[in-house]
Structure 1
Amino acid sequence: MSFGKKMSILKTSIIFRVTLWYSIFISLLVLFMLVSAFMVSGSFADAKHRRELERSAREISHDKEDYESFDDGIYYAIYQSDGSVSKGAFPKGFQKDLAYNGGQIKEYSVNGKTYYYFDVKFSNGGSSWLRAMMQKTSLNDDVMLLFIVMVLVSPVLLTVIIWGGYAILKRAFRPVEQMSQTALAIQREGDFSKRIVLGPKDDELHRLGQTFNHMLDSVEASFEREKQFNNDVSHELRTPVAVILSESQYGSDYADTLDEAKESHQIINRQAKRMRELIDQIMDLSKIDSGRIQALSGLNLSDLVAGRLQEFQKLCQEKSVTLESVIVPNCMIQGNELLLLRLLDNLLSNALKFTKDRIEVKVEAADGWTYLKVKDNGPGIPQEDQAKIWNRFYQVDSSRHKTEASGSGLGLSLVKEIVNVHQGQIYLASQIGQGSQFQVAFPSLSIDH
């Protein structure tokens, strides 16, 4: 990889940017600390020198025996009452005839240097007085040495801190890098089974990685469902298409009489209707999955069911099935009329497909819910199949199906989706040999609406 490309990657790296800002902040902080230390140390040194000057002068003023003209960086001079110098030493160029300052520390500058001087009278009651003088310095040697050491050590310390910070950030952002690599691998290979390998930690980034893995679980499950759905659709369409092709070929090549041709046409018609029903169910499921459905509005479920049962009565009579209904009037819900008609048709056709000789339909309301119940007295659904009937293209064992009425396996799946759209619930009660009852519960809508 070229140097330019590496630099381009670095510039777009969060770790690099965070380290850069972190380094700038630390550098400024260290600089501020050094400047502050220099200023504070200078202030402390200055105050210390002033205190030392005054203390030394006062000690000598109480005991002349301790007098020396120069001691530990301090010059001393004894003045007579007329301001003349009796004896002492002065810094080079210091003006000797400065007036008595009355016990205050003052400054005097000469030859580019500044001196403190302090005057105090001797305690023996005489008229002579002592002047102490010291050069003003910001830092003493020890403090200056410490400051120089800090300046020299700071670059090394900064380098260690910046490198350590970068290493820590890189390690902390490892789950993010793994997420990026996993996403790229999925994009390249189309393998949705890949996951981020995470350690036992429980920090924010590891929780983000876990969330990403959960998302991949959902994506993989959706992908597998979609793939299975496509396979099932292909399988379900292949049979009627094969029958249509076969019968049309037979009718064209081998049908010698009108009755034989009519029989082939009837078979073709039944298979075409089956294909249309399958496609209609798929289209309805697709609309629900994509959210392309009309808004729900208030409607009278009692009137909707009663109207549909009048049409369904004829189909029951043709099959010698008794249709019984108990419909409480004016049961209002919030719903989509077309979807509810599809739901009702699927439940009724399912009941008609499997019942022996009776179907019961009820509409009633209680405790804020409106209930639609469809019951048949068919063979019932085995317990192990009851949770699976809502899956797309799932069909209970063929022994339960009537040969002439085999379905697509999408009807109850579509019913379940329609119920979810209406924020309702659906229940199945079934026992072998005693039939099945599907109960749908919708949130009731006040009649005032």
Structure 2
Amino acid sequence: MSRLPGRLRPWFRRLPVVARLVLAVAVTMSLVLAGTAGLVYWRVQTALDRQLNDDLTTYRHSLDRAVRTGQELPPGPSGSLQQVLDAQGRVLVSSAALRTQSLLTPAELGAAVRGATVRRDVGSLLPITSDTLRLQAARVTVGGEGRIVIAAVRRGHRDEALRELLAQLALASGLTLIAASYVGYRTARAALRPVERYRAGAAGLADGAQHLRLDVPADRDDEITRLGHTLNHMLDRLAASAERERRFVADASHELRTPLTLMRAELDVALHRPRSAGELTETLRSVDTEVQRLIDLSNALLDLEELGTTQHLSRAPDDLADLVDTAVAPHLRTAERAGRAVTVAAAPATVDVDVRWLRPAIANLLDNALRHGSGRVGVTATVHEGGLRLCVTDEGTGFPPEFLPRAFDRFARAEASRTGEGSGLGLAFVQAVATAHGGTAHAENTGRGACVVLTLPC
């Protein structure tokens, strides 16, 4: 159907799928049946014409011999005609049915006089006409003078057989086309019935139906069934995504509400009565702290959104030891003030990663260990079989067991209250970096403290 004329394509595309399939089957079957019927008709016509030509040639040869020897013209097959002309076209001998009417046109007579064998059909197969003939004419020399001998046989039986064949082929082709179209229609309807069910289910989902899943047969494995499983998987993903978005909006609203409420409270207190310059300065510092918290939260959310696609990654070879040292350096003074040690063990290797994202991910892990853990913090980085393994450990009490399954969720915090430091996006950012690189991140308790492992292909 890709070769339809330009004016028919829009019309064809507007048809229902079943109608297009049935039309395609009908057109294809019509072409096949027409080709088959044409081949059968051609073979039968060729066989009939060969037999008719053989009889006509034999008959003309017998007439030629009779004219040369001066004998009486022999009778031919049933319904045959004979005629002998001179070079000027005058009828010398003729069958009673012809009388003096010449069977040749002037042009054919001239060709026969020049020695050509003339062959022609008189009358047509359709529409039906009487006295249909096939004739042959050739020159014969008698006593130095030329004679044109014409032999003709009737084509009635041959034409009748061909017309009967055409009628039978038309009837058989029509019935076959109707049967094929009906089977195609029933097959298309049966094949597309599950698609219609899926469409109705999707319409129900669009109307607000909850927890909708398509009814997919479990005992089949065809294209439609696989489509149903794919759509159900998509619905599961959409439901999970909608739930994550709902939780995200609720958590983000809570996180944004807290600093905004504190800022509003500080400003209300400052405006309630006249304040000294020192009190106003303290209020502004408090408001600045909350503004910075909002900025950090917004930046973290933007980073997570940007990491949602690997198109933002720009991998480049980098020295692993330098990468880890650069990420750890800003936190050494914080650890020193807290009286805690930070040890770094990085293998001498070159890794192919996006330093712009991996460096802050390492910094987030170190910041979490310093903020929520205790004792010595260890940072190890090794490369094995094309994979980078980063591990940050501390010697604290570890993660609460109930927190581990959701440690990398956005805004997830181990403490029950949300008033503590941090936004709850640090580990979510680490997991986003790992996913963008095609790796994984997981957290565990080692018995001596917490351990967060980042594994990346490099």
Paired with 2:316 and 2:267, the residues of 1 have a C-alpha distance of 46
CA contact (8 A) 1:301 1:330 kept: yes
Identify the residue that residue 37 of structure 1 maps to in structure 2: 40
Task: Give the deviation of 1:390 after TM superposition.
Answer: 1.2
CA contact (8 A) 2:133 2:153 kept: no
Describe how 1:205-354 pairs up with structure 2 within 5 A: 205-253=224-272, 264-265=283-284, 267-291=286-310, 293=312, 295-320=314-339, 322-328=340-346, 330-354=348-372
Deviations 1:311-370 (A, max 9, x none): 3122123333x1231334744322333322321221111111222333223344455444
1:374 counterpart = 2:389 = no
CA contact (8 A) 1:351 1:375 kept: yes
Task: Give the deviation of 1:384 after TM superposition.
Answer: 4.2
Paired with 1:358 and 1:86, the residues of 2 have a C-alpha distance of 129
Task: Name the Cα RMSD after superposition.
Answer: 4.5
- Which secondary structure does the structure 2 equivalent of 1:306 belong to? helix
1:392 counterpart = 2:410 = yes
- Which secondary structure does the structure 1 equivalent of 2:30 belong to? helix
Tell me which of 14, 19, 26 is aligned to 1:16. 19
Identify the residue that residue 168 of structure 1 maps to in structure 2: 187
Paired with 2:457 and 2:168, the residues of 1 have a C-alpha distance of 79
Tell me which of 149, 159, 163 is aligned to 2:178. 159
Task: Give the deviation of 1:212 after TM superposition.
Answer: 3.5
Deviations 1:235-265 (A, max 9, x none): 2111221122123212332686777666655
Paired with 1:92 and 1:369, the residues of 2 have a C-alpha distance of 98
- Which secondary structure does the structure 2 equivalent of 1:167 belong to? helix
Paired with 2:346 and 2:79, the residues of 1 have a C-alpha distance of 118
Which amino acid in structure 2 is aligned with residue 29 of structure 1?
V
Which amino acid in structure 2 is aligned with residue 356 of structure 1?
S
Paired with 1:204 and 1:276, the residues of 2 have a C-alpha distance of 50
Corresponding residue pairs, total: 387
- Which secondary structure does the structure 2 equivalent of 1:408 belong to? coil
Paired with 2:372 and 2:304, the residues of 1 have a C-alpha distance of 24
Paired with 1:140 and 1:256, the residues of 2 have a C-alpha distance of 120
Which amino acid in structure 2 is aligned with residue 437 of structure 1?
C
Which amino acid in structure 2 is aligned with residue 237 of structure 1?
L
Change (3 A) 1:384 1:139: farther
Deviates more, 1:137-146 or 1:289-298: 137-146
* Structure 2 unaligned residues grouped into runs of 5+: 1-9, 57-68, 85-92, 95-118, 123-130, 137-151
Change (3 A) 1:9 1:177: farther
CA contact (8 A) 1:381 1:431 kept: no
Which TM-score applies when normalising by structure 1? 0.68
1:421 counterpart = 2:436 = yes
Paired with 1:404 and 1:178, the residues of 2 have a C-alpha distance of 50
Change (3 A) 1:316 1:31: closer
Change (3 A) 1:194 1:84: same
* Structure 1 unaligned residues grouped into runs of 5+: 1-6, 54-80, 99-106, 117-132, 445-449
1:410 counterpart = 2:413 = no
- Which secondary structure does the structure 1 equivalent of 2:396 belong to? coil
CA contact (8 A) 1:114 1:135 kept: yes
1:113 counterpart = 2:133 = yes
Paired with 1:90 and 1:257, the residues of 2 have a C-alpha distance of 138
- Which secondary structure does the structure 2 equivalent of 1:394 belong to? coil
Tell me which of 417, 421, 437 is aligned to 2:451. 437
Deviations 1:253-288 (A, max 9, x none): 268677766665554444333322221211110111
Deviates more, 1:255-264 or 1:337-346: 255-264
Describe how 1:42-191 pairs up with structure 2 within 5 A: 42-44=45-47, 83=71, 91=79, 93-94=81-82, 112-114=132-134, 139=158, 145=164, 147-152=166-171, 154-177=173-196, 189=207
CA contact (8 A) 2:309 2:436 kept: no
Which amino acid in structure 1 is aligned with residue 404 of structure 2?
Q
Which TM-score applies when normalising by structure 2? 0.67
- Which secondary structure does the structure 2 equivalent of 1:426 belong to? strand
Paired with 2:202 and 2:311, the residues of 1 have a C-alpha distance of 30
CA contact (8 A) 1:430 1:436 kept: yes
Paired with 1:108 and 1:260, the residues of 2 have a C-alpha distance of 123
Identify the residue that residue 359 of structure 1 maps to in structure 2: 377
Paired with 2:276 and 2:76, the residues of 1 have a C-alpha distance of 151
Change (3 A) 1:295 1:190: farther
CA contact (8 A) 2:315 2:354 kept: yes
Which amino acid in structure 2 is aligned with residue 30 of structure 1?
L
Paired with 1:90 and 1:145, the residues of 2 have a C-alpha distance of 22
Paired with 1:273 and 1:87, the residues of 2 have a C-alpha distance of 122
CA contact (8 A) 1:354 1:379 kept: no
Change (3 A) 1:305 1:27: closer
CA contact (8 A) 2:81 2:153 kept: no
CA contact (8 A) 2:316 2:352 kept: yes
Identity %: 24
Change (3 A) 1:253 1:108: closer
Task: Give the deviation of 1:164 after TM superposition.
Answer: 3.3
Paired with 1:287 and 1:319, the residues of 2 have a C-alpha distance of 34
CA contact (8 A) 2:407 2:443 kept: no
CA contact (8 A) 1:243 1:271 kept: yes
Deviations 1:157-213 (A, max 9, x none): 433432432332233234455566666666x64668555544454322332343334
CA contact (8 A) 2:387 2:456 kept: yes
Task: Give the deviation of 1:43 after TM superposition.
Answer: 4.3
